[in-house]
């Protein structure tokens, strides 16, 4: 079984995987993360690193072949291992959140698999400045309210917590009325 024998080999492995890890970490800040197995994560790191490596070929060339000061070498490494991966992660996030692949795939006769696996995450991930909601619980009870910037909706696949900042009472005709004092928020978890 192969092993990492030298410090140079360990540094090479870090240099190959770190950009992909940074790309994935930046993307996960903006895109609902789908729980995946370890090998998919490693493939995502390799894919991200490959894109960063391709974009960084001129810098790698410069770093290897040019006579540069130590500070210039550090600058190239920071660009290669940090700045380019952050940029790639931001672009990947933009493409994903704006559904560019889903929009343009029919032009070439393809249907893309949606990146969001649940309707919950799709709806709540697209909410802008605020929206009115009617939440129906498993027991059939309903809670009306306004979900704005002071609200929270969990995107984890295990827990579906909701914090609704403004809650309204529902009458039997489904009319909403602002409640009396003391009932301004609802925490469902």
pLDDT in tens, 90-145: 999 999 888 888 888 889 988 887 777 777 777 777 777 788 888 887 788 888 88
Strand ranges (E), the chain: 131-136, 142-147, 152-153, 162-164, 166-170, 176-177, 186-188
Residue 135 φ then ψ, to 5°: -95, 125
- Name the pTM for this structure: 0.70
Distance, CA of 37 to CA of 58 (rounded, Å)? 34
Distance, CA of 161 to CA of 188 (rounded, Å)? 6
With beta carbons less than 8 A apart as the criterion, state whether 153 and 179 touch: no
Strand pairing of 162-164 and 166-170?
unpaired
Question: Looking at residue 188, what is its pLDDT?
Answer: 62
pLDDT (mean) for 84-90: 95
Number of H helices, E strands in the chain: 7, 7
Question: Looking at residue 187, what is its pLDDT?
Answer: 57
- List for the chain the helix, strand, coil content (%; round to 5): 50, 15, 35
Question: Looking at residue 157, what is its pLDDT?
Answer: 62
Residue 186 φ then ψ, to 5°: -135, 130
Q: Quick one: which of 155, 29, 152, 49 has its CA closest to 94?
A: 29
Distance, CA of 141 to CA of 170 (rounded, Å)? 10
Question: Looking at residue 33, what is its pLDDT?
Answer: 67
Percent with pLDDT over 70 in the chain:
85
User: At 179, is the secondary structure helix, strand, or coil?
Assistant: coil
pLDDT at 36 over 70: no
Distance, CA of 151 to CA of 10 (rounded, Å)? 45
């Amino acid at each position: 079984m192969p092993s990492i024998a030298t410090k140079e080999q360990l540094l090479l492995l870090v240099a190959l995987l770190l950009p992909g890890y940074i790309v994935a970490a930046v993307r996960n800040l903006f895109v609902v993360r789908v729980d995946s197995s370890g090998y998919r994560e490693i493939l995502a790191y390799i894919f991200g690193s490959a894109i960063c490596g391709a974009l960084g070929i001129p810098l790698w060339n410069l770093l290897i072949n040019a006579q540069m000061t130590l500070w210039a070498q550090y600058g190239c490494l920071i660009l290669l291992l940090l700045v380019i991966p952050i940029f790639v992660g931001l672009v990947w996030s933009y493409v994903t959140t704006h559904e560019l692949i889903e929009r343009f795939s029919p032009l070439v006769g393809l249907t893309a698999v949606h990146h969001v696996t649940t309707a919950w995450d799709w709806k709540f991930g697209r909410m802008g400045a605020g929206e009115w909601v009617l939440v129906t619980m498993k027991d059939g009870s309903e809670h009306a309210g306004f979900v704005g910037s002071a609200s929270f909706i969990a995107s984890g696949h295990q827990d579906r917590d909701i914090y609704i900042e403004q809650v309204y009472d529902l009458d039997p005709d489904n009319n909403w009325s602002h409640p009396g004092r003391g009932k301004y928020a609802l925490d469902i978890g």
